């Protein structure tokens, strides 16, 4: 088993509590989300209609798509409400020296 390849994504303070930050890592747009002080990395687009999640509301470990209201679990990417029925990608995160690193 090989070690994951983590890449620097952003300074920790660039993602305030309850907010998101969009970053591009190796050509992929990743959305960093701060839910209750825990940083998550997810796909930046809703699986329902490819709408951006960047302005979505974050609450209690989920993010809501601002276009149609679908909610996704930030840890697993699973859809919690419709109209989405497919999960979104999630990525492992670690914090090193106040920098957010994401494995893709």
Rg (the chain; Cα; Å): 13
pLDDT the model gives residue 1 = 37
Q: How far is CA 65 from CA 5, 24, 55, 74, 84, in A?
A: 29, 20, 8, 12, 9
In this prediction, residue 4 has a pLDDT band, given cuts at 50, 70 and 90, of confident
Residues 39-88: tens digit of each pLDDT: 999 999 999 999 999 999 999 999 999 999 999 999 999 999 999 999 99
What's the whole-model pTM score?
0.94
């Amino acid at each position: 088993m090989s070690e994951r390849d983590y890449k620097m994504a952003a300074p920790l303070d660039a993602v305030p509590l309850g907010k998101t930050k969009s970053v591009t890592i190796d050509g992929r747009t990743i959305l960093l989300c701060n839910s209750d002080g825990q940083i998550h990395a997810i796909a930046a687009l809703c699986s329902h209609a490819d709408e951006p999640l960047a302005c979505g509301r974050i609450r209690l470990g989920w993010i809501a798509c601002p276009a149609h209201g679908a909610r996704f679990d930030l840890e697993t990417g699973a859809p919690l409400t419709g109209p989405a029925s497919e999960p979104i990608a999630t990525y492992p995160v670690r914090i090193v020296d106040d920098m957010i690193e994401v494995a893709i």
